[in-house]
Every structure is written in structure tokens, then in C-alpha cells.
């Protein structure tokens, strides 16, 4: 058991140490607007950071599975049950803007729906709750502490914009006061074009515009 614990600590250190930052010799650097800020882009699209948390947890759990072998399934079942019954931990994860991204109002509603006798509502709540299990480090007592130590891979977030976000019209910064009345992306032809599923990469039409997001959450064309 002591040897197993030591192995888990080594695995955990490896996962939490997997950190990188935005590279100055990024081959996609020409795809970034002059005023691009990876921190601001991440704040506008917190799901990118949330994915990093879940990827770190998944990488650790996969490694633990290989170490534990056949004993992992039972251990995971027990640990997941404990994790999903800890409402304080689940609430903290749900309310974190870069993890669950929820609000207290949504959390209260989630709890209400979870206990509802309405099958359709309770099933939706169950799916939302189950998604939180992706933040559970198996056989680790303090998931919140470990999650707080997962490094931000700014390079990956910046690259997401250069190879995907920009071509799909993702806003990369907040709108300035004078841009508050700019054309909404939803009013542009490209929005309708990209809303239609494409059969292959050759038929994809890239968005050549740059966009900001206003205080109401509307993405607007930067002119």
C-alpha cells in the first residue's frame, strides 16, 4: 500500500508539472491580432481552461489505472461515490468560472431539479452532476487543492485561437466603448454559412473577420 501511494504521488507530480507558456517562436504567430491577449481570450472562453482541468484529471486517473490494474475499477467506483456525495466540493467546482462556470442561482436550481420527480428534469440534472465527476482525482483526498495546482497551458489556449477560434469567428477580446454598436456576427452572412454542417474540410468556409464581445455577451465585428 505504501508503494502504491508513492507511485500515485509520482504520477500526480508528473501531471501537475506538465506546464507550458505561450512560445515566442510560435509558428502561428501571424494568426494573432496585434492586441491579442491569451489571458483575455481565456476569460471569454473559460471552457478551454475547463478542458485542461479535465485532461489533467483524466491523465492522472489513466496512469493510476495502469498501476492498480484490476483493483482500479472498484477503487474508482468507491471514490466517485464519495466525490459525488460531497456537495461542498461539487458546489465549489460548479461555481468556479474556469471549471463548472455556473452561478449560485443555477446551482440552487440544479439541486432543486435533481430532487424533482419530473423524469425529464431529473435526468437533465443527473447529466449535469455526472459531468462534475470529470474533476475527480481517484484516491486523492483533496480534489480542490489539486485542481488549484493544475497549471494553465497558455500556449494551447493561444493555439486554439490560431487554428480554430479565428476561422470560426470566436471573439478574442472585449469590445471597446466605441465598438458597442458594431455589426453583430449573427447579422453577417458567414454566421449563416458556418451554421450549416460541412461534409469535409474542403467545403469549410473560414471567417475572415475579427470579433469582440460586448457587455451583453454579443459578439461584434471589429471594423
The boundaries of the domain holding residue 166 are: 28-43+154-221
User: 183 and 167 in one domain?
Assistant: yes
CA dist 94 and 79 (Å) reads 19
Give kind and range of the element (H or E) at residue 140: none
Order of strands, sheet of 219-221, starting from the edge strand that comes earlier in the sequence: 173-174, 211-213, 219-221
User: 170 and 144 in one domain?
Assistant: no
User: 118 and 78 in one domain?
Assistant: yes
User: 141 and 161 in one domain?
Assistant: no
pLDDT tens for each residue of 119-154: 665 687 777 778 899 999 999 999 999 999 999 999
pLDDT at site 31: 74
The strand pairing partners of 211, in sequence order, are 221
* 115 falls within a domain: yes
* 4 falls within a domain: no
∠ CA 166-172-175 to the nearest 5 degrees?
130
pLDDT tens for each residue of 149-195: 999 999 999 999 999 999 999 999 999 999 999 999 999 999 999 99
User: 213 and 164 in one domain?
Assistant: yes
181 phi and psi, to 5 degrees? -110, 10
CA dist 40 and 209 (Å) reads 18
The residue behind cell 501571424 is 30
**What percentage of the chain has pLDDT greater than the value 70?**
83
* 5 falls within a domain: no
* 6 falls within a domain: no
User: 162 and 135 in one domain?
Assistant: no
User: 192 and 114 in one domain?
Assistant: no
Position 21 pLDDT exceeds 60? no
What is the count of structural domains for the chain?
2
pLDDT tens for each residue of 43-93: 999 999 999 999 999 999 999 999 989 999 999 999 999 999 999 999 999
CA atoms within 13 A on the CB side of 2: 0
User: 108 and 178 in one domain?
Assistant: no
Amino acid at each position: 500500500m505504501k508503494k502504491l501511494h508513492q507511485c500515485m504521488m509520482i504520477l500526480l507530480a508528473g501531471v501537475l508539472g506538465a506546464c507550458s507558456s505561450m512560445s515566442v517562436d510560435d509558428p502561428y504567430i501571424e494568426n494573432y491580432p496585434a492586441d491579442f491577449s491569451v489571458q483575455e481570450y481565456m476569460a471569454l472562453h473559460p471552457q478551454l481552461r475547463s478542458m485542461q482541468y479535465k485532461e489533467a484529471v483524466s491523465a492522472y486517473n489513466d496512469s493510476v489505472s495502469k498501476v492498480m490494474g484490476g483493483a482500479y475499477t472498484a477503487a474508482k467506483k468507491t471514490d466517485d461515490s464519495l466525490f459525488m456525495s460531497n456537495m461542498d466540493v461539487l458546489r465549489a467546482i460548479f461555481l468556479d468560472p474556469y471549471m463548472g462556470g455556473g452561478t449560485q442561482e443555477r446551482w440552487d436550481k440544479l439541486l432543486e431539479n435533481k430532487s424533482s420527480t419530473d423524469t425529464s428534469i431529473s435526468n437533465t440534472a443527473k447529466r449535469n452532476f455526472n459531468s462534475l465527476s470529470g474533476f475527480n482525482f481517484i484516491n486523492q483526498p483533496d480534489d480542490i487543492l489539486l485542481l488549484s495546482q493544475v497549471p494553465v497551458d497558455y500556449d494551447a489556449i493561444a493555439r486554439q485561437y490560431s487554428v480554430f477560434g479565428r476561422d470560426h469567428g470566436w471573439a478574442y477580446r472585449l469590445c471597446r466603448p466605441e465598438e458597442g454598436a458594431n455589426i453583430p456576427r449573427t447579422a453577417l452572412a458567414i454566421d449563416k454559412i458556418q451554421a450549416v454542417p460541412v461534409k469535409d474540410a474542403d467545403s469549410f468556409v473560414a471567417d475572415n473577420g475579427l470579433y469582440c464581445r460586448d457587455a451583453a455577451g454579443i459578439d461584434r465585428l471589429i471594423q
